[in-house]
C-alpha cells in the first residue's frame, strides 16, 4: 500500500530484472459477456487502485459513470516523475493542482482522454482516514479540489472524519480501524460500499449477509494485454469476476471495477480483497457484476509491491487512454459488456 514510490527507484539497483509470477496465475476460464447496461459502469479503488480509479474515470469519462476513491490522490499527480513528485503525492504538500487541471484540459483537447464535460454530474465518493500515514489526508484534499474543477461539489461525498489508517474500509473486515496491517482491509463500523453503491445506483436491496448465490470466476487476463503478455505490464495472467445468479441468467446488470492497492493483489494476500471487499454482498442482491483485475509484483517494469501504475513505470502515457494497464482493464470491461461500450 506504499505511496512513496520514489524509494523504489533507489532500491532498484538491489534487484535483478526478473518478473515474479503469481502463485494464482493459472489461466482459467475465458471472460464471459453479460447483459450490462452501458451507463452503469463504475470504478472503485484503494491507494494505487484509488489513483487508477481516478485515472480511469478521467481518461474514459464517456464510459465510466461513477467513482469511489479510498486513500488515493489527484490525477497525474506524479507527472511521470516519481523521484520528484512521489513525496508530494504521498503527503499532499505542494501538489500543483492547478497545473494538473491544466494538463487534464490539454490532453482532453488533444483527444488523448475523453472530454472533461463527461465528468459533470457523475457521482464521486471519497474516503480519507484521519490516521492515514501512507497517503496523508492532504493529498485526498487535493483530489477534492481537483474534482471541483470539473464538477459540482454537490456531486461529491467526502468522508474525511473517520479515524482510519490507510486501508479499504469494510464492515466485514477483521482489522481494527486504526491499524496499518495486511491485508489492508479495516473495520471502522461503517459501510462505505453501501454508500457509494447507493450513490451509483440508487436505493439498494438488502445485502446478502449469508452464503452468496453468485459465482467467483477466475479468468485469463492475457488476451486483454498487449501481445497477450500481462506480465510485461505488471499485470497477473488471471483476474477475478463475481457474477450474481441473475446476471448469469441474462438479466440486465450493472458493473463495478474494484481495484486493489499495493501489496493487496492475489500474489500477496490471495483472494482476500476479492472475497472480503464488502462489495459482493451488495452486488449479489442488486444485479451488480464486480470485476477484480490483478497486478503482480515485478522488477521489469520495476513494481515490487504490485501497485497499479499511477507514476509511469509502464510508460509516460500511463494516465491517458492509451495507457497499457487502463487499455487492458477497459478491454475486460468491454468484454463483460458484450462489446457494447463506446471507448
The per-residue DSSP string of 153-191 comes to GGGEEEE--S---SSEE-TT--EETT---TT-EEE-S--
State the chain's mean pLDDT as an integer. Answer: 92
Q: Is 166 a catalytic residue?
A: yes
Judged on CB neighbours under 10 Å (0-12, 13-18, 19+), 299 is middle
Number of neighbours of residue 119 by Cβ within 10 angstroms = 21
Q: Are 275 and 230 in contact (CB under 8 A)?
A: no
Cα 159 to Cα 129, 149, 165, 191, 248: the distances in Å are: 8, 19, 13, 12, 34
Say which range, 9-13, 90-94, 114-118, 246-250, has the weakest mean pLDDT.
Answer: 9-13
pLDDT at 342: 81
Sign of CA dihedral 30, 35, 38, 39: negative
Q: What is the spatial distance between Cα 233 and Cα 296, in angstroms, rounded to a whole number?
A: 9
Tell me the torsion sign for CA atoms 61, 65, 66, 67.
negative
CB 24 within 8 A of CB 270: yes
Provide the pLDDT for residue 10. 27
Could you give the CA distance from residue 283 to residue 258 in angstroms, rounded to a whole number? 12
CB-based contact 11:317 (threshold 8 Å):
no
Of residues 91 and 27, more confidence is placed in 91
Quickly state the pLDDT bin for 100 (edges 50, 70, 90). Answer: very high
Query: What's 272's DSSP letter?
Result: H
Distant-in-sequence, close-in-space partners of 331: CB < 8 Å, separation ≥ 6: 224
Active site residue 236: no
Q: Is there a contact between 225 and 235 (Cβ–Cβ < 8 Å)?
A: yes
List, as one string, the DSSP characters of 91-120: H-TT--HHHHHHHHHHHHHTTSS--GGGGT
pLDDT at 328: 98
Q: What is the DSSP letter of 232?
A: G
Q: What is the pLDDT at residue 12?
A: 31
- Which member of 3, 47, 61, 263 is catalytic? 47
Q: How confident is the model at residue 4 (pLDDT cuts 50, 70, 90)?
A: very low
Q: How many CB atoms lie within 10 A of CB 111?
A: 10
From 40, 166, 170, 260, the catalytic residue: 166
Q: What is the pLDDT of residue 16?
A: 28
pLDDT per residue over 134-191, tens digit each? 999 999 999 999 999 999 999 999 999 999 999 999 999 999 999 999 999 999 999 9
Q: How many residues does the chain have?
A: 343
> What is the reported pLDDT for 286?
98
Q: What are 18-42's pLDDT values in tens digits?
A: 333 444 545 468 999 999 998 999 9
- List 82, 114, 132, 135, catalytic entry: 132
Q: What's the pLDDT at 343?
A: 83
pLDDT-wise least confident of 6-10, 133-137, 205-209: 6-10
Amino acid at each position: 500500500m506504499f505511496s512513496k514510490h520514489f524509494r523504489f527507484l533507489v532500491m532498484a539497483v538491489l534487484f535483478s530484472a526478473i518478473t515474479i509470477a503469481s502463485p494464482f496465475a493459472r489461466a482459467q476460464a475465458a471472460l464471459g459477456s453479460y447483459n450490462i447496461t452501458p451507463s452503469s459502469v463504475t470504478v472503485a479503488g484503494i491507494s494505487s487502485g484509488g489513483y487508477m480509479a481516478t485515472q480511469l474515470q478521467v481518461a474514459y469519462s464517456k464510459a465510466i459513470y461513477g467513482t469511489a476513491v479510498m486513500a488515493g490522490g489527484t490525477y497525474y499527480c506524479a507527472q511521470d516523475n516519481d523521484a520528484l513528485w512521489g513525496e508530494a503525492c504521498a503527503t499532499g504538500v505542494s501538489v500543483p493542482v492547478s497545473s494538473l487541471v491544466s494538463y487534464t484540459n490539454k490532453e482532453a483537447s488533444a483527444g488523448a482522454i475523453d472530454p472533461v464535460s463527461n465528468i459533470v454530474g457523475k457521482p464521486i465518493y471519497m474516503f480519507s482516514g484521519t490516521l492515514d500515514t501512507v497517503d496523508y489526508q492532504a493529498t485526498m484534499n487535493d483530489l477534492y479540489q481537483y474534482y471541483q474543477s470539473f464538477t459540482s461539489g454537490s456531486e461529491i461525498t467526502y468522508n474525511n472524519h473517520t479515524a482510519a489508517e490507510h486501508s479499504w474500509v469494510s464492515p466485514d473486515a477483521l482489522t481494527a480501524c486504526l491499524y496499518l496491517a495486511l491485508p489492508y482491509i479495516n473495520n471502522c463500523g461503517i459501510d462505505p460500499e453501501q454508500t457509494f453503491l447507493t450513490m451509483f445506483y440508487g436505493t439498494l436491496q438488502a445485502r446478502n449477509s449469508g452464503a452468496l448465490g453468485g459465482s467467483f470466476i477466475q479468468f485469463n487476463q492475457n488476451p486483454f494485454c498487449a501481445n497477450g503478455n500481462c506480465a510485461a505490464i505488471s499485470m497477473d495472467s488471471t483476474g477475478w469476476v463475481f457474477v450474481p445468479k441473475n446476471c448469469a441468467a441474462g438479466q440486465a446488470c450493472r458493473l463495478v471495477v474494484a481495484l486493489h492497492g499495493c501489496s493487496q493483489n492475489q500474489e500477496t494476500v490471495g483472494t482476500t480483497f476479492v472475497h472480503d471487499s464488502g462489495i459482493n454482498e451488495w452486488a449479489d442482491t442488486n444485479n451488480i457484476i464486480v470485476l477484480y483485475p490483478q497486478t503482480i509484483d515485478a522488477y521489469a517494469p520495476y513494481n515490487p509491491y504490485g501497485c497499479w501504475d499511477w507514476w509511469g513505470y509502464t510508460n509516460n502515457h500511463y494516465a491517458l487512454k492509451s495507457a497499457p494497464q487502463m487499455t487492458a482493464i477497459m478491454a475486460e470491461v468491454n468484454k463483460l459488456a458484450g462489446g457494447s461500450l463506446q471507448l
